[in-house]
Chains A and B, each alone.
Chain A
Amino acid sequence: MIIFLSCIILFLIGLYAIVTKRNLLKIVIGFALVEYAINLLFALIGFRSGMLAPIITQVDAPHRFVDPIPQALVLTAIVIALGTTALMLTVVLRIYNRYKTFDIAEIRKLKG
């Protein structure tokens, strides 16, 4: 139970960074933390203590393996996270070229 809760705590730390940090790069790092937290949670959900990796060679022994589906989900989620992080960093770089700053308080051409 403790490790599940620690995933949620990691999620909240990432969310805290996204909400409160003023540096664009720190916000992107906050997203990376949130993504790690969810991926870790997925992997833990599929984990069964003392079981084998799900490489099934005999048909009659499914109960000896960990749940393979969350691992597949984590792979997909990592690819999506890669895409969003790359796009985010690209936009951050472009913003830096225009405004010469990473501080969101100074990037305010759009009003209320």
Chain B
Amino acid sequence: MTFIPLFFVLPLAAAFIIPILGKIAKSLIWIFVTLVSFALFVLALYGAAVTQEVPMIVYQMGNWPPPLGIVMAFDSFSAFMTLVISMLVFAGSVFSLRYISHYTGQWKFYTLYMLITAGMMGIVITGDLFNMFVFLEIAAISSYALVAFGVDAEELEASFKYMVMGEVGGLTFLLAIALLYAKTSTLNLADISNSLQLVGHTPFFWLVLGMMLLAFSIKSAFVPFHSWLPDAHPAAPAPISSLLSGIFIKVLGMYTAARIIFNVFGLSRANAPALFNVLVGIGLLSIAFAGVTALSQKDYKRLLGYSSVSQVGYIMLGFGIGNYYGVAGAIFYILAHALAKGLLFLTSGSVVNATGTRDLTKLAGLGEKMSTTAWSFRFGSMSLIGLPPFVGFFAKWLICLGALKAGFGWLAVVAIALSVLTLSYLLKIENSVFMKKGKTQAAKAPFTMRIAMVFLVVLIIVLGIGFQSVIEFIVGPAANALLRGLEYANLVFGSAAVGF
């Protein structure tokens, strides 16, 4: 199956074509980037369709078979992640046209935008640990540069803070890879998984897993390590905030952690209940602490940044519950939160573009002047809070169902009760920016910005109403791919042997 490498080759090639295009015809860059993002979206849909029939597609780089060469292992979970990434990349690129127009050096923005896409796509399709690290660094370095893109004092400070935290995480991951290589003499995820079974649950096993989880916790901003996110995400240009909060933290932190816990280390609630209880604890701590902190924020984007820390906790909660419904709920929540938070950050960009400020105390009365933005914000909020029939409701419902089935009735109650926090901090924005009477000067959002927002609103509604097919065709297979655990290794070697 030769379409697999296209997922990162396409954006990587685009990233290197854009500087040349910038010299010849500047106006073409945006069209080019949007076309590439749309092509990725179509490719991801095709990938999702193919994985309906084949559980695992392996692409061997340079035709070297798995334990020796680098492989790309594409299963339902990868297909799901590529789909979510490409949705947000497409919406962000459409939105960028007018938002970026007042910055200088637009081609640099779009080059970095394509590099960050290539990095994320690479992480989710690779089947090799060191390759995963390289793609992780490609995505991370581009994101540091994009956070500092405005080169104002605050943006540089946020970028440096983010860089220090992110690199500590990245280097801890590299150290864990070194230790793992010393023990297993291989870098292939499937082969590592086989070797680790011979090692058993020794202190070494837990040390390496702990270091990796520490690295991923920093990357996805769980509560003791979250301090960089509320600075870095607001500092970035709005389409980038949308991409970073919407999907970046989940690819770098959640996808990698889930893949390594379930498929490589072969853990499940049955054989490591203590670890999964810790995951539930981390999730709850993030939801509660960041949710309360968000209530006192006065900056539109900073509030949304704290909200992201809080919402990612729900995903960890779902993975921590560890049964089919919990994991499927967590995966569904990745989709729901990506769409909703991506949309909310786009509305913040639209407001900043029209008024030039994101201070909640200075904004007022935009509900009538910018009706598309206001209604997009409302739909996004309703999905994030978890009201039916939007996509966020069904994700939360699956997580609660998982908690009930696992015998944690109290957890389901707490998870729903903590939605009140989400409701109250989002109402704060709704009240001060859109509902309150006021005379803030603002024009309607430009056409391309409205297109990008409406695209995400439509997805939130359509995927919410069609939740049954989403669960059956996309989320369910992805959850099964994770819960299949150590079967992952056999599938990779088996698929490589038959040439899929």
Binding site for B on A (CB under 8 A): 11, 15, 18, 24, 27, 31, 34-35, 38, 41-42, 45, 67, 69-70, 73, 76-77, 80, 83-84, 87-88, 91-92, 94-95, 98-99, 107-110
Known interface pairs A18-B168, A70-B181, A98-B153; A38-B141 also in contact (CB < 8 Å)? no
A-B contact pairs, 5 of them (CB 8 A): A15-B168, A31-B167, A45-B182, A69-B181, A110-B158
Known interface pairs A38-B171, A45-B178; A91-B154 also in contact (CB < 8 Å)? no
User: With an 8 A cutoff between CB atoms, is B191 at the interface?
Assistant: no
Give chain A residues whose Cβ lies under 8 Å from the Cβ of B137. 80, 83-84
Closest to A70 in B: B181
User: With an 8 A cutoff between CB atoms, is B95 at the interface?
Assistant: no
The residue that B163 contacts in the complex, of A73, A91, A107, with Cβ under 8 A, is: A91
Give chain B residues whose Cβ lies under 8 Å from the Cβ of A69. 181, 187
Let me know if B178 and A42 touch, CB within 8 A.
yes
Known interface pairs A34-B171, A38-B178, A87-B141; A109-B153 also in contact (CB < 8 Å)? yes
Docked CA distance A50–B172 (Å) = 31
Let me know if B174 and A84 touch, CB within 8 A.
no
Give chain B residues whose Cβ lies under 8 Å from the Cβ of A77. 174
Let me know if B187 and A24 touch, CB within 8 A.
no
Docked CA distance A76–B164 (Å) = 20
Let me know if A95 and B160 touch, CB within 8 A.
yes
The residue that B160 contacts in the complex, of A42, A45, A76, A88, with Cβ under 8 A, is: A88
The residue that B148 contacts in the complex, of A35, A76, A94, with Cβ under 8 A, is: A94
A-B interface, 3 closest residue pairs, ranked by CB to CB distance from nearest: A98-B153, A45-B182, A80-B137
Let me know if A92 and B160 touch, CB within 8 A.
yes
B interface, over-half SS: helix
Docked CA distance A67–B156 (Å) = 42
List which B151-188 residues lie within 8 A (CB) of chain A.
Answer: 151-154, 156-161, 163-164, 167-168, 171, 174-175, 178, 181-182, 185, 187
CB distance from B315 to the nearest CB of A (A): 25
Give chain B residues whose Cβ lies under 8 Å from the Cβ of A24. 160
Let me know if B167 and A84 touch, CB within 8 A.
yes
User: With an 8 A cutoff between CB atoms, is B100 at the interface?
Assistant: no
Known interface pairs A80-B137, A98-B153; A88-B158 also in contact (CB < 8 Å)? no
Let me know if A41 and B175 touch, CB within 8 A.
yes
Give chain B residues whose Cβ lies under 8 Å from the Cβ of A84. 137, 141, 144, 163, 167
Let me know if B157 and A110 touch, CB within 8 A.
yes
User: With an 8 A cutoff between CB atoms, is B130 at the interface?
Assistant: yes
Give chain A residues whose Cβ lies under 8 Å from the Cβ of B171. 31, 34-35, 38
Closest to B165 in A: A18
User: With an 8 A cutoff between CB atoms, is B442 at the interface?
Assistant: no
CB distance from B307 to the nearest CB of A (A): 16
Known interface pairs A84-B137, A87-B145, A95-B160; A41-B187 also in contact (CB < 8 Å)? no
